[in-house]
Amino acid sequence: MDGEATGSSRDAQDPTQHPVDGAHPRASVLLAESDPVLARAIRRSLADAGVRVVAIVRATAEALAVCEKLKPDAAIVDLEMAGVADAEFLTALRAARPDLVVIAFSGPHWREAAWELPIDDYITKPADLDKVDEDQALALVRGRLRRVAQLVG
């Protein structure tokens, strides 16, 4: 699975691979995001909104396997992650879970093209996320991710 197996010993030490603790979240989300700083910021933002991230994956094959196993309510998918901006992957994700809410999360240059893919919603990533730390990323994505709780809550 592209070297990023959820159950590997390396991942056992990676806090981004563990479910978010919290009291009775309203919905569960699979996060497919290759940037670990952004993934942690998204996880924190969703937890604040009462949404539980069941797993963070960094590869498409892993996303499919985790989706089938954990059965989240929604998937937030970075279209820039290798192999994602491909209708075949997103169609397979939907086939695994027909009721899955699929939310694309990528830069503004994807906004129009994303609607050609089998998604339910599109959230634009803030620019220059590669130049910020986790707290700054959290501040940038928090407002954009409020809609996720409304979609899946």
79-126: pLDDT as tens digits: 888 676 667 888 888 888 889 999 888 888 888 888 888 999 888 876
Distance CA 127, CA 147 (A): 19
101-106 sheet: strands from edge to edge = 51-57, 27-32, 74-77, 101-106, 121-124
74-77/27-32 β-pairing: parallel
Task: Go through the domains of the chain in sequence order and give each one's CATH number.
Answer: 28-133 (3.40.50.2300)
**For the chain, percent of residues with pLDDT exceeding 90:** 13
Quick: pLDDT tens for 41-87: 888 888 888 889 999 999 888 999 999 999 999 999 988 886 766 67
Judge if pTM exceeds 0.85: no
